[in-house]
Amino acid sequence: MLDDWRVVNRSVADALAELDMSPADIGLVINTHLHFDHCGQNAVFRHAPVYVQRAELSRAKRESPELCEWFDFMNARFELLDGDAEVLPGLEVIATPGHTEGHQCVVVRATRTDPAGPVGPAGRRVRWPGAFDLLIGDAAYTPRQYAAPDLGKLPAGQASDVPAWRESVRRVQSLRPDRVHFCHHTDIVHN
């Protein structure tokens, strides 16, 4: 059971405002999957394309038609993907079915100096070539599930297809991301 996560009710516009940004500053949206807690504010970004796996959109239309009415707002612009894809230089998605049929994780590769990276010459923070962060979505709810996908009972809702879920987590582990960020847990795994 997840005991270290709680829902925070605030709009994405308010969260962006804390960073001196607005929804108009966002040029694209990537949904890891189409459960409400991951796509419920898509309409705030009416101007932006939404990148999602084709299999995920099909699943959502089949299993949650009422939710589709919410996120498939008038003139929604879906960029449908079929597997791994580069969205922009340094920004990729990798297909990780299991939590849902069309789940995907997001890979963010270092392309410039990173203030959170290791300290290099002259005290500057740098990222080495090939370094990347993984936004895991719901491929794993917690660092414990990420570290040991074959151990223990999964919480309700973690996997619609347990063998595919375990294979996806093992695949993500094999990529050896520098940092793994979770949606439903505040810890960041550093490799």
Diameter over CA atoms, the chain: 56
The predicted-structure confidence for 16-55, as pLDDT tens digits, reads as follows 998 899 999 999 999 999 998 888 899 899 999 999 999 9
Q: How far apart are CA 38 and CA 56, in angstroms?
A: 13
The predicted-structure confidence for 118-163, as pLDDT tens digits, reads as follows 554 455 445 556 789 999 999 999 999 999 988 878 888 889 999 9
| DSSP string of 126-188, one letter each residue | ---TT-EEEE-TTS-SSHHHHH-TTSSPPPTTS-SSHHHHHHHHHHHHHT--SEEE-SS---E
Burial of 167 from C-beta contacts in 10 A (0-12 / 13-18 / 19+): middle
Name which of 49-53, 94-98, 112-116, 133-137 the model is least confident about. Answer: 112-116
Q: How far apart are CA 156 and CA 186, in angstroms?
A: 20
